[in-house]
Amino acid sequence: MRTESRPAALSIEGLRVSIGGHDVLHGVDLAIEAGRVHGLAGESGSGKTMTGLAVLGLLPHGSRASGRIAFGGRDLLEMPVRELNEVRGAKIAMVFQDPATSLHPMLTVERQLTEHMRHHLGVGRKEARERAAGLLAKVRIPGPEEALRRYPHQFSGGMRQRIAIAVALACEPEVLIADEPTTALDVTVQAGILRLLRGLCDDLGLAVLLVTHDLGVMSAVADEVSVMKDGLVVETGPRGQVLREPRHPYTRSLLDALPVPPGENSP
């Protein structure tokens, strides 16, 4: 189905994950290309988030992963922790669902934006601060300079998520895993973030794995769409085909469950 013209920036092959003897992923295959947004849809509990966490080696304790996650010619599942730490946060970054828990409540925004930047990129304090202010402006935080001195609790939920996205983008990653990044945001802000993600993907050749349950969001930014159900990818294909002519009955049922039927949306 997919044209294999470009090498995948990240490819997941036969990923199986079990937690406490209970299988949550039963052989997931995904290929994420540079400059493309790959959407991963499905209901909660279908294994979307686990797939994202497995890439970064962030699976919960007591879980076992097998299969292969290839990035830059290496298997992330086999990689020693020390080397994995060079990759995650720098080359593969993640935006989590809940900004209230993904940001550190007791560190200033500046610290959270510059700490990993200085560690991974080796930039100085002053330059890191300038880049941080630039990033905040990019994700549309009003008054970036002043915002740097503030703490997460001083921002609204939507603002916090924008900061979390800025944190993920700080080291100019090659792969960005965004787990429901706009679920907590307003539609206008969501539109801005989706445009931002799309722009980063197009301009910097960022490969984005966008995990979302919102098929509207999926339709707006994703190039390829994969639909997951019970730990398996049941359908993968180009956006237009999956959302307009779904082949799998489960995808059809997801589309039918939308509050606003496709086609008769906003004016």
Partner 1 sequence: MTMPLTGPLLSVEDLVVEHRTPGRPVVRAVAGASLHVAAGEVVGLVGESGCGKSTLARAVCGLHGAASGRILVGGHPVTPLGLRRRDPALTGVQMVFQDPYSSLNPRRRVGAQIADGLRAAGDTAASPADLLERVGLPRAFAGRYPHEFSGGQRQRVAIARALAARPSLLIGDEPISALDASAQAQVARLMRDLAVESGAGLLFISHDLSVVRLIADRIAVMYLGKVVETGPTAEVWADPGHPYTRALLAAIPSPDGAGVLPAELPGDVPDPADPPSGCRFHPRCPLVMDVCREKEPGFGPVACWLHEPEPSSPS
Beta carbon of residue 141, minimum distance to partner 1 (angstroms, whole number): 8
Of 27, 57, 67, 158, which one interacts with partner 1 (CB under 8 A)?
Answer: 158
Candidates 59, 97, 242, 251: give the one binding partner 1 (CB under 8 A): 242
Nearest to partner 1 of 54, 136 (CB atom)? 136
Restricted to residues 35-64, the positions that interact with partner 1 (CB under 8 A) are 43-44
Residue 106 burial (10 A CB sphere; 0-12, 13-18, 19+): exposed
Q: Which of 11, 57, 219, 232 binds partner 1 (CB under 8 A)?
A: 219
Under a CB-based contact definition with an 8 Å cutoff, are residues 148 and 109 in contact?
A: yes
Is 267 among the residues that bind partner 1 (CB under 8 A)? yes
x-marked contacts with partner 1 along 73-112 as a string, rule CB under 8 A: ----------------------------------------
Closest CB 28 distance from partner 1, rounded Å? 21
Q: How far is the CB of 43 from partner 1 (least distance, A)?
A: 6
Measured between alpha carbons, how far is 127 from 9 in angstroms, rounded to an integer?
Answer: 29
Q: Kindly identify the residues of this chain, within the stretch 220-239, that bind partner 1 according to CB under 8 A.
A: 220-223, 239
- Binding residue for partner 1 (CB under 8 A) from 107, 187, 202, 252? 187
Note whether 190 binds partner 1 by CB under 8 A: yes
Residues that bind partner 1 (CB under 8 A): 43-44, 140, 142-143, 156-159, 184-192, 194-195, 198, 213-223, 239-244, 255, 257-260, 262-263, 265-267
